[in-house]
Amino acid sequence: MTAALPPLTLVIGAAASGKSAFAERLITATGAPALYIATAEAHDAEMRAKIAAHRARRGAGWTTVEAARDLAPPLAAARPHQPVLLDCATLWLTNQLLAEADLAAEQSHLLQSLAACPAPVIIVTNEVGAGLVPETTLGRRFRDAQGRLNQALAAQADLVVLVSAGLPLVLKGHLPGTAP
């Protein structure tokens, strides 16, 4: 049953922190067939291997939709009792940035699409602001845009979980099955 999942969950952490695996476990625990919205694009062998590893870890029972930039259609098409995993907001933002999209407009559209989604959604995103200051203007622009996006997603989310070294730390709300 998906009733235990809040309408919107944000799972945030550093690269390779275990955030995707944690989000997958939250959804798998519902026992419902899940929708996976993939924002990654396989431009090289390393990314193809990473995508294959994610698919293998999820196993059967997941419907995958690839949506590098336009997340509104798959979010609107989700069934009410079909949990959605959007992995990940960081790659979605990268795709928008590289396409020279209006980031503020795209962020607003994403937030509206999430609010209108009839199913519970878990979004995975990277915390990128804790490291070094990027050398390039594009890198700094991305870091700042990612920070703004993460803040907006966290404000809208019912549950926010930071994952570090595979361990979850609840920042807002409570995990399904635990007391409020």
| Tens-digit pLDDT profile for residues 115-131 | 999 999 999 999 998 88
Whether the Cβ atoms of residue 20 and residue 166 lie closer than 8 Å to each other = no
Contact assessment for residue 110 and residue 71, using Cβ atoms and an 8 Å cutoff? yes
Cβ burial of 132 (10 Å; 0-12, 13-18, 19+) is: exposed
Confidence of residue 1 (pLDDT cuts 50, 70, 90): very low
Write the CATH number of the domain with boundaries 8-172: 3.40.50.300
**Catalytic residue at 54?**
yes
Average pLDDT over residues 139-165: 97
Digit-coded pLDDT (tens) for 53-64: 877 777 777 899
pLDDT score for 48: 81
What pTM, to 2 d.p., does this model score? Answer: 0.92
Q: Of 54, 81, 109, 174, which is the active-site residue?
A: 54
Indicate the domain borders of the chain: 8-172
Residues 6+ apart with CB under 8 A from 143: 128, 129, 133, 134
For residue 135, the 8-state DSSP code is: S
